[in-house]
Amino acid sequence: MSVEIDLTLPLARFALRVRETLPAGVTAVLGPSGAGKTSLLESVAGLRRAANGRIAVDGQPLLDTARGVALPPEKRRVGYVPQDSGLFPHLSVLGNVRFGAHADERAVGAAIDTLEIRPLLARRPATLSGGERQRVALARALATRPRLLLLDEPLAALDVRLRERVLPWLLRVRDEWALPCLYVTHNVGEALAAAAHAIMLREGRVESTGEPRAILGGLASEAEEGIENLLPGQVVSHDEASGITRVSTASGLDVAVTLTPENPVGSAVTLAVRAEDVLVAVAPVVGLSARNVYAGRVLSIERTGVDVTLRCALEPGGVEVLARITPAAVVALGLQPGGPVWLAVKSHSISLLGAAVRG
């Protein structure tokens, strides 16, 4: 299963120019807003007539302008899930899922079961929550037995809590349906959790391509959006009585997160912590409810916008963690590069991003 893309599409400010062969599995499409990510998906789906070049799935061309091939969208068999789900408001959930399925009841049933939307079938899209809508949109795409999935920021319209609830469904689709997938996202954590491969678009060009972690290294420290701290690790234990799942990070930290029994002991996960959720102290912390307290050193103090970003190295393993605090806090605490620091993170502020990156 591979997807070949050799595409040119004139856009308002620049031309989209992508030439990539994507491996099987999920490819994250990253990049700033307006980089051409959605245009790329729409070209693959056949919704951009000006698209020029060649796009092939498993050697079968969807587009090959040199040979006069340009399959209309209805012949391409790609499943497209946009950011706002794009459910048909005049149809029930079942009507939506069945829409493209051509009476293939087995595919409809399988899609409904994968996304566990059977209780929703009679409802109208307007009555669904954001997370439910995205699950229905995914099921609708899957029910057509697509050869390729195109996900355009499928979680972006959801708040942080909902994202964490919907992401596992996406991972389940990835694992159970084994489809090649182009996954547009702004969110570093999502890309790391879902994708084995990533391309970074900027102004319509592929800036870099490869393993998501390698590509995102720079972006994560830019701390523009999404989650700044990402720590790969392994589930050590689940303790239902205390409501805690213990994770040991690759760098040797012992981290307590809220109970997530769906990740079996021993499974690889990615811990995600926002820089603003990291508490900073200049003395050993006692009597605090936060479960995770680590000693370290300040590496650098940088002004980022109205805030200050603190780069710290934690003692075990020297792993780097970013914390965002106010300039006033820097003064009040007398923080200086090289000085000692204690960082605390509540279990609730740590997201567990499901099964980790696959090679």
Partner 1 sequence: MGPDELRIVLFTLEMAATATLVVLVPGVAAAFFLAGYRGLGKTALETLLTLPLVLPPTAVGLLLLEILGRNRPPGGWLAAHGVEVVFTWKAVVVATAVMSFPLLVRSARTAFEEVDPRLVGLARTLGCGPAAAFFRVSLPLAWRGVVAGTVLAFSRALGEFGATIMVAGNIPGRTQTLALAIFHDTQMGRDARAATLAAVTVALAFATLWVTEWLFRRRARGEAA
Which stretches of the chain bind partner 1, using CB under 8 A?
42, 45-47, 72-74, 76-80, 82, 86, 88-90, 99-100, 102, 124, 126, 140-141, 144
Distance CA 129, CA 117 (A): 12
Query: What are the backbone angles phi and psi of residue 121, rounded to the nearest 5°?
Result: -55, -35
> What SS3 state is found at 6?
strand
Ramachandran bin of 66, using left for φ above 0, alpha for ψ from -120 to 50, beta for the remaining angles:
alpha
Decide whether 184 or 191 has the Cβ nearer to partner 1.
Answer: 184
Question: Among positive and negative, which fits the CA dihedral 287, 293, 298, 303?
Answer: negative
CB of 87 to partner 1, least distance (A): 9
| Beta carbon of residue 166, minimum distance to partner 1 (angstroms, whole number) | 19
Output 81 or 355, the one with its CB closest to partner 1: 81
Q: How many CB atoms lie within 10 A of CB 209?
A: 17
Min separation Cβ 99 and partner 1, Å: 5
Q: Which is nearer to partner 1, 65 or 92 (CB)?
A: 92
CB 213 within 8 A of CB 227: no
Pull the structure tokens for residue 13: 């400010």
Nearest-approach distance from CB 35 to partner 1, in angstroms: 19
Strand 307-314 with 197-202, pairing: unpaired
* Cβ closest to partner 1, residue 34 vs residue 86: 86
The nearer residue to partner 1, 148 or 215, going by C-beta atoms, is 148
What is the separation, in whole angstroms, between the first and last Cα of the chain?
Answer: 16
**Nearer residue to partner 1 within complex by CB, 84 or 276:** 84
Toward partner 1, which CB reaches closer, 102 or 348? Answer: 102
Whole-number Å distance between alpha carbons of 326 and 347 = 22
Residue 128, amino acid = L
Q: How far is the CB of 45 from partner 1 (least distance, A)?
A: 5
3-state helix, strand, coil in the chain (%, to 5): 30, 35, 35
- Classify 153 in phi/psi space as left (phi over 0), alpha (psi -120 to 50) or beta: left
Least distance from partner 1 to the Cβ atom of residue 44, Å: 10
CB of 287 to partner 1, least distance (A): 53
> Residue 47 or 329: which CB sits closer to partner 1?
47
Least separation, in Å, of the C-beta of 270 and partner 1?
31
Secondary structure (DSSP) of 230-296: EEEEEEEEEETTTTEEEEEETTS-EEEEE--TTS-TT-EEEEEE-GGG-EEESS---S-S-SEEEEE
Which letter, b or e, does each residue of 320-341 get, where b requires 16 or more Cβ atoms within 10 Å of its Cβ? bbbbbbeeeebeebebeeeebb
Instruction: Please report how close the Cβ of residue 245 comes to partner 1 at its closest, in angstroms.
Output: 38
In the bound state with partner 1, the residue whose beta carbon lies nearer, of 145 and 213, is 145
Q: For residues 25 and 46, which CB has a smaller minimum distance to partner 1 in the complex? A: 46
State in angstroms the smallest separation of the CB of 90 from partner 1.
5
Q: How far is CA 86 from CA 123, 125, 134, in A?
A: 15, 10, 9
